[in-house]
Each structure stands twice: as structure tokens, then as C-alpha cells.
Amino acid sequence: MSTDRIYLDWNATAKLLPEARAAVLEAMDLAGNPSSVHREGRAARAAIDKARRQVGELVGAAGEHVVFTSGATEAANAVLTPDFRMGRSPVRLGGLYVSAIEHPAVHEGGRFPAEMRHEIPVSADGVVRLDALEQLLAGHKAEAGLPMVAIMLVNSETGIVQPVAEAAKIVHAHGGLLVVDAVQAAGRIPVSPEALDVDFLIVSSHKIGGPKGVGALVSRGETLMPAPLVRGGGHEKGHRSGTENIAGIIGFGAAAAFAADGFDERNARIAALRERLETGMRKAAPDVVIYGENTERVANTCAFTLPGLKAETGQIAFDLEGIALSAGSACSSGKVGESHVLKAMGRDPRLGALRISLGWSTTQEDIDRAIDAFAKIAGRRKLSDAAA
């Protein structure tokens, strides 16, 4: 058996693409500040504008509607605010309605005070309840300001696709704004602000094979925009100040171009690998619980619970077998705790869930080794039960 480690934690961060690495290294030689008007500055600006178009093309948006940030967390904090501007005129939002399964960067509400935040429940299958959203917005006091709703397109822990387009109809019927975390969706399913009828999208570089430390807030237009989170020199058309991370942005653009090219073939291959994985897991342990298996999911994600095995114990066991996977979502500085996603689904969060996520370099050999490790760990669990 190979002693090479197997990486199956792509939802936490994707491996850096060779194309993105090459773009970053090339960008290191761009000497100019993109705000400078001399030739070197214009060259840096042109490279950023190319990346802006590439990211826009990946998510079906115009490049000029892409605002680069230090990552998805900053993008979330930038857009989740009661303070908006329509041109130079202030616009006040009156409340934030967030699904119970959001990533903490969104679930914690950004710049909205606690008293203005409301949670949208989900079904036992982990899907946002549209009836509850309708009821919440029907009770929103219009005189307080416009409502804002935040619903992720793909859940980071389960891979379950959320009914964003249907939610958009409800939100806009109540005069609200819809913010969508598309971090786990970009490059895996079609994404478009127009097609989904959403007002803002959040995307991240390192989830699609680009460098860490760069993301973007993508708007439907530029008429209504949040008050800047980072102020100063008026960069990014005044929406996000600070000299741009040229190397990171150009690497992000290269990764976006890769993700947009060969999309269908790559996802079909990954879907077949996940099917092989889950078939092997069920054969080794028929009692395994696979979350969202009867619900629409992205092709690369398998979240599961093995009864009798704690998530953190399972994660360590797989690591010792040479396989990197996740206990839920890697979003809390390495902490392993109860899953708020499982809790929202009505599951016992103390059990926890393990998450296997696949990516562009995952092979059939990787999957077969993961199945072998799973069978070994499941077998040890049974032996422990018998001994007890």
C-alpha cells in the first residue's frame, strides 16, 4: 500500500492549482502599484482587471461588479450591514434574516447588532424552510428599513444545495435584499446573480484552487452598495480601501478561469468518485448515516456519521491512516465542537459528522484507500462495542 497521504478536505481549502501558482509567481514581478499612472502601475492595474473579469465570468457577473477583499469572511462582514448607500444617499436596512446553517462568517451577522438578527430554520434534510422565511418577512416592520436575507447556495458541511432562486422570489416580494454565500458553489454548480436573482454573492479564492487570503463580493449592480468596511484611499471604486493584493488577485483569476473551463466533465468525474466512495462505505458499515443523500448535493461532498464514533476520534483515526478529512467545517481556528448545522437539522450535534470532500486531483486510488481506511475504522468500532 502507498504511504503517500491522501487529501480529502477540499471544502476546507483546495490544493493550489499549477495555473494559479504560475500566475502568482509571474505577478510577483509586477513592480507597480495599481493606483499609479505610470507604465508599471498601468501594467499592474491591467492584470487586476483581467482577474476581475475572470472571477466575474465564473459566477456569471460583469467584472466591474466584482470587489476584491481579503477573503470571504471580509466580504461577508462588508455586505452584512444595516448601512447602505444609493449613490451618495444613505439607505437604512431594518433587519437581517440568516439561515440556521450558514458559515459562522455569515451566521454571526456581520455589522448588524444582535437585536436586528433573526434565524431562518431548516428542515430535517438540511434545506432552508421557505415557509418560515415567508412568515418571518411577513412580520418584518417596513418602517424600520429594508430586510436583508442571507442564505448560502451550498452548505459547507453537508454539500446540500439550497433553494436560493425560490427564496429570491419571496425576498424581493417583500422589498428585501438577498445575500448568497457561493463559496462552496462556485466551480461546482452554475452560479449567476441574474439566473438566481440575488443581489450579492460572496466567493473565495482558496476554495477553487487559488491562493489563500483573497475573496470577492460580487454585486448585481452598483446602484445600492454597503457602506465600506475598510476605509482609506478609496480603492476598488471606494468599496474597499487598501492597496490590492496583486499576486493573490491574479492567482484568484487564474483559478477562476480553470474552474470555468471543463466544468461539466470535471464534475461528472468527481460525482462518479463520490458514488464509488459512498457505495464502499455502505458496504463496510450499513449503519453509516450520509447526510443529504436523498437531497440535491454538490458532487464533491460526503458528510457522514458512523454511529458509536465521535467525529474528533474519527478524524484522528483517518489521519493516522494517512487521510486528511474534516470534522464538519474548518472555520473556527482548528476547533472541533458541536455542529450547529446538525443541530439545526434536528440531529444530535454531540455525535458530530465527518466530511470527505473531493477536488480536481482526487483519483480512484485515493477513493479506494479511503474506503479501506473507513472499513478498518468501522471494524475497530465494532470490536470496541463487543469488548464493552
DSSP helix/strand/coil, 383: helix
DSSP state of 14: P
Q: Are 340 and 152 in contact (CB under 8 A)?
A: no
Q: Are 147 and 174 in contact (CB under 8 A)?
A: yes
Give the type of residue at 66: V
In the chain the first and final C-alpha atoms are separated, in Å, by 32
Instruction: Report the C-alpha gap between 381 and 41 in whole angstroms.
Output: 61
Which grid coordinates are listed for 80?
452584512
Which grid coordinates are listed for 83?
448601512
DSSP state of 220: S
Interstrand relation of 89-99 and 117-120 (parallel, antiparallel or unpaired): parallel
Pick the catalytic residue from 331, 336, 351, 375: 331
Which residues in 77-90 are b (16+ Cβ under 10 Å) and which e? bbbbbbebbeeeee
Instruction: Report the C-alpha gap between 184 and 162 in whole angstroms.
Output: 12
Instruction: Report the C-alpha gap between 128 and 152 in whole angstroms.
Output: 9
Interstrand relation of 200-204 and 177-181 (parallel, antiparallel or unpaired): parallel
331 is catalytic: yes
Residues serving a catalytic function are 331
